[in-house]
Amino acid sequence: MKDFLWWHDGVIYQIYPRSFMDTNGDGIGDLEGIISKLDYLQDLGVDAIWLSPVYPSPDVDFGYDVADYRAIDPKFGSMRDFDKLLVQAHKRNIHIIMDLVLNHTSDQHPWFQESKKSRDNKYRDYYIWKDPKPNGAPPNNWLSIFGGSGWEFDQGTGQYYFHHFFKEQPDLNWRNPEVRKEMLDVFRFWLEKGVDGFRLDVFSAYFKDAEFRDDPKKWVGLRKYDRLIHEYDADRPEMIPLLKEIRVLLNGYPERYVVGETFMATFEKAALYCGDDLLHAAFSFEDFINGHWQAAKFRKAIKTWEKTLEDKCWPNYVLNNHDVKRSATRYRDDENDERSKVAAAMLLTLRGTPFMYYGEEIGMREGKFKKSEILDPVGIFYWPFYKGRDGCRTPMQWNASENAGFSSAAPWLPVNPDYVKRNVEEQMREEGSLFNFYKKLLKLRKDHPALMRGDLEMATVVPGNSLIYFRCLPEEQAMIALNFSSEPKKIDLVKNGAANCEVALSSKLKPNRNYDEQYVLDGNEAAIFILKSSAVA
In the complex, which residues of this chain contact ligand GLC (CB under 6 A)?
A: 61, 64, 101, 165, 201-202, 261, 322-323
Q: How far apart are CA 404 and CA 414, in angstroms?
A: 10
Q: How far apart are CA 505 and CA 309, in angstroms?
A: 29
CB atoms within 10 A of CB 158: 12
List the catalytic residue out of 201, 235, 366, 525.
201
The CA dihedral of 113, 116, 121, 124, to the nearest 10 degrees, is: 100
Q: Which is nearer to ligand GLC, 23 or 320 (CB)?
A: 320
Q: How far apart are CA 495 and CA 459, in angstroms?
A: 9
Q: Which is nearer to ligand GLC, 214 or 323 (CB)?
A: 323
Which helix (H) or strand (E) segment holds residue 258: the answer is strand 257-261
How far is CA 186 from its chain centroid? 22
SS3 track for 379-432: HHHHCCCCCCCHHHCCCCCCCCCHHHHCCCCCCCCCCCHHHHCCCHHHHHHCCC
Q: Which is nearer to ligand GLC, 62 or 437 (CB)?
A: 62
Q: How far apart are CA 437 and CA 35, in angstroms?
A: 24
Q: How far apart are CA 404 and CA 415, in angstroms?
A: 7
Residue 8 near residue 44 (C-beta atoms within 8 A): no
Q: How far is the CB of 200 from ligand GLC (least distance, A)?
A: 10
Q: Which is nearer to ligand GLC, 101 or 318 (CB)?
A: 101
Q: Which is nearer to ligand GLC, 202 or 404 (CB)?
A: 202
Residue whose CB is nearest to ligand GLC in the complex, by number: 64
Q: How far is the CB of 431 from ligand GLC (least distance, A)?
A: 36
DSSP 149: B
Q: Which is nearer to ligand GLC, 103 or 403 (CB)?
A: 103
Helix/strand/coil for 249: helix
Q: How far is the CB of 322 from ligand GLC (least distance, A)?
A: 6
Q: Which is nearer to ligand GLC, 23 or 57 (CB)?
A: 57
**Cis preceding-peptide flag for 134 (omega within 30 of 0):** no
User: Can 201 be counted among the known catalytic residues?
Assistant: yes
Q: How far is the CB of 64 from ligand GLC (least distance, A)?
A: 3
Q: At what angle do helices 79-91 and 177-193 cross, to 10 degrees?
A: 50
Q: How far is the CB of 517 from ligand GLC (least distance, A)?
A: 48
Q: How far is the CB of 474 from ligand GLC (least distance, A)?
A: 40
Q: How far is the CB of 249 from ligand GLC (least distance, A)?
A: 22
CB atoms within 10 A of CB 304: 17
- Position 438: which residue type? Y
Instruction: For 459-513, list the strands marked E by DSSP.
Output: 466-473, 476-483, 489-492, 501-506
Q: Which is nearer to ligand GLC, 261 or 525 (CB)?
A: 261
Helix/strand/coil for 13: strand
Helix/strand/coil for 298: helix
Residue 130 near residue 212 (C-beta atoms within 8 A): yes
Q: How far apart are CA 405 and CA 397, in angstroms?
A: 7
- Position 533: which residue type? S
Q: How far is the CB of 66 from ligand GLC (least distance, A)?
A: 9
429 to 78, 238, 342, 422, 438: CA distances (angstroms): 35, 53, 21, 12, 14
Q: Which is nearer to ligand GLC, 234 or 350 (CB)?
A: 234
List the catalytic residue out of 168, 261, 306, 525.
261
Q: How far apart are CA 272 and CA 537, in angstroms?
A: 32
Residue 179 near residue 192 (C-beta atoms within 8 A): no
Q: How far is the CB of 370 from ligand GLC (least distance, A)?
A: 22
What residues are labeled active site?
Answer: 201, 261
